[in-house]
Amino acid sequence: MIFQDFFKHPQASEALIRPATKSDFDQLVVLFEEFFTNFNIKETLSGLSKELLLADDAHQFAVDIIKTYFSDREIIFVAVLNNGLVGYISGHINTDRHLLYLPELEIVDWFVTQQYRHHGVGRKLYEVMVNLAAKKGCKSIALEAFCQNHQSIKTYERLGFVKDSLILKKKLE
């Protein structure tokens, strides 16, 4: 199946990876919304995360998230094919004193549209971030995943990530 899919999209391995620009904003919002609608993420979330993401105005939530990616602190790269975005990766470099490995690149979001998964696009995005982290002198790379997002966690582990911490949340009334 994957072999057949590759020939449907032979250009996938030729995706251009570049820094995001303000002109990418609307397409990034669409990709962010796709992440939450096409991958059953609503079913895998629980508690506060689910409540926030299922808010009445999910589109505005996506817009607000993408706005944060264009702050001075954030780093965002996009994958482009046929003049359209097919994926992105975002993050920032942490230099907080409480971190053991300083500086550390934190990947905040990493997504490739379903049509272009398993064709190397996600890996190309990841490698650009790894190279940037090395150039900036980072000692480690961190990322978070929803506990029930088993497919992504397996991917991260194949790339050498190990489970290091657990984040617990409580809603304040």
User: Any idea what the CATH number is for the domain that residue 86 is in?
Assistant: 3.40.630.30
d(CA 112, CA 142): 19
Average pLDDT, the chain: 81
Residue 6 inside a domain? The answer is yes
Average pLDDT (42-46) is 52
* Residue 165 counted as domain residue: no
Which residues form the domain of 108? 2-158
What is the total count of domains within the chain?
A: 1
Residue 167 falls inside a structural domain: no
Q: Is residue 101 classed as helix, strand or coil in its secondary structure?
A: coil
Tell me, yes or no, whether 169 lies in a domain: no
- Tens-digit pLDDT profile for residues 145-160: 877 778 888 989 999 9
Q: Tell me: the pLDDT tens digits for 93-130? A: 987 766 566 788 999 989 999 889 888 899 999 999 99
In a domain, 126, yes or no: yes
Record the pTM.
0.80
**β-pairing verdict for 75-81 and 16-19:** antiparallel
Residue 173 lies in a domain: no
What's the burial of 156, exposed, middle or buried (CB within 10 Å: 0-12/13-18/19+)?
buried
**109: in domain:** yes
| Contact call for residues 33 and 138 (beta carbons, < 8 A) | no
Predicted confidence (pLDDT) per residue in 2-26, tens digit: 444 444 554 666 889 999 999 999 9
Question: Is 121 a domain residue?
Answer: yes
